[in-house]
Amino acid sequence: MERRNVMPGQGGDRYIPYEERTGEESVVYFTRDLSAQGLEKIYARVSRDLIGKVAIKLHTGEPHGPNIIPRPWAENLIRKELPEGTIVETNTYYEGGRYTTALHRETLRTNGWTFCPVDIVDDEGTTTFPVHNGKWFEVMSVGKGLLKYDSLLVLTHFKGHAQGGFGGSAKNIGIGCADGRLGKAWIHTTVGSADMWDIAKEEFMEKMMESAKSVVDHFTPHISYVNVMRNMSVSCDCEGTAAQPVVTPNVGILASLDILAVDQACVDLVFAMKEEDNHDLVERMLSRHGLRQLTYMKELGMGNDRYHLIDIDNGDVEITRADAVRHVVPFGAE
């Protein structure tokens, strides 16, 4: 259900330096340990409120996708820490390897997501979650299967995105929990348009964030966020083997109980890199006006864009964004 007669906000092509931000500060944990053990270690910092039946929202990827979170890392985490957990996904809006449940199941087998249950939550229908104080939507259509779960771990591969500029935790649930036929159409396509991707820039970011807010509000306080900054192509994992080559250095893993803080911190670490390291991903974010994701989350009251960055590799000392990326090396030279 879409509201009418609204105007999009502006500014998604401008990076706001930390010193210009105002408000409270959240906590974001950081590790440089890009491994199954690093993921397990940082997950422990944000797992305390995950209770009952836990859903794990991650992007399982198109067939043979090269840049998704390594399956063995997720398998190690789920087997050790979430043995009763279930990966949740939705079918795609576009035609491809995850367009129908049957195709999606085959892609899951191809990519090795066979070690735990995977629930395609829009397979048995949809439901709506309210969008509180949204300007575009009153409700969002999501996979009905989400109603079976008490908690949600948002496990995200942070990367670029063809339409969104970047994909973090908010994109993971804003698009990834909206059902494949109705919710995703509300976000991507103007009613009556022949172009299924005609919604872009600020309007797209705002609609995607309102969808994400509906999921956050449904699960809060039983929701946590982990972003893996590895193999960060400017392309989303939905592009699979057609993704653009990775040129941005690997950074590490970030986690928080604040969705805005964790996505903002990832963006900040990209912008803190040297220009020769970050130019492609920065250009992708700015050209798509992707930074509107962050300012609109703040306007919606979804979290804080200021935070304490805690280095869990070194006694929980607080570090700067420059510290976190000081020793990154060109991709492929690790």
Q: What is the model's pTM? A: 0.95
State the pLDDT at residue 66. Answer: 85
Residue 1 in any domain: the answer is: no
What is the predicted pLDDT for the residue at 283? 97
Task: Give the model's pLDDT for residue 40.
Answer: 98
Residue ranges of the chain whose pLDDT lies below 50: 4-7
Cβ burial of 195 (10 Å; 0-12, 13-18, 19+) is exposed
**How buried is 105 (Cβ within 10 angstroms: 0-12 exposed, 13-18 middle, 19+ buried)?**
middle
Half-sphere exposure of 265 (CA within 13 A, CB side): 39
What is the tally of structural domains in the chain?
Answer: 1
Token code pair at residue 314: 């070194």
Please answer whether residues 250 and 23 qualify as being in contact, where contact means their C-beta atoms are separated by less than 8 angstroms: no
User: Pairing relation of β-strands 139-143 and 126-130?
Assistant: antiparallel
Under 8 Å between Cβ of 133 and 301: yes
Distance CA 133, CA 74 (A): 35
CB contact at 8 A, 253 and 42: yes
Is residue 4 included in any domain, yes or no?
no
Kindly write down the DSSP assignment for every residue of 280-313, as one continuous string: HHHHHHHHTTTTHHHHHHHHTT---SEEEEEETT
Q: What is the pLDDT of residue 2?
A: 52
Please report whether residue 332 resides in a domain: no
Contact in structure between 228 and 39 (CB atoms under 8 Å) = yes
Distance of alpha carbon 333 from alpha carbon 316, whole angstroms: 28
How many Å apart are CA 273 and CA 294, to the nearest integer? Answer: 19
**Is residue 10 included in any domain, yes or no?**
no
Q: What tens digit of pLDDT does each residue of 246-298 get?
A: 999 999 999 999 999 999 999 999 999 999 999 999 999 999 999 999 999 99
pLDDT score of 5: 44
Cis peptide before 72 (omega within 30 of 0): no
Which DSSP category does 45 fall into?
G
**Within-domain flag for 330:** no
CATH code for the domain in which residue 42 is found: 3.40.50
Tokens 């009556």 correspond to 192
Q: Are 26 and 19 in contact (CB under 8 A)?
A: no
Taking the C-alpha atoms of residue 77 and residue 227, their distance in angstroms, rounded to an integer, is 14
Within-domain flag for 138? yes
Domain with 210 in it? 18-325
Q: How far is CA 330 from CA 38, 159, 165, 274, in A?
A: 21, 16, 21, 11
One DSSP character per residue, 204-247 reads HHHHHHHHHHHHHHHHTTSEEEEEEE-S--SS-GGGGGGSPPP-
Report the distance separating Cα 146 and Cα 177, nearest Å.
8
Report the C-alpha gap between 163 and 289 in whole angstroms: 9
Q: How many residues would you count in the chain?
A: 334
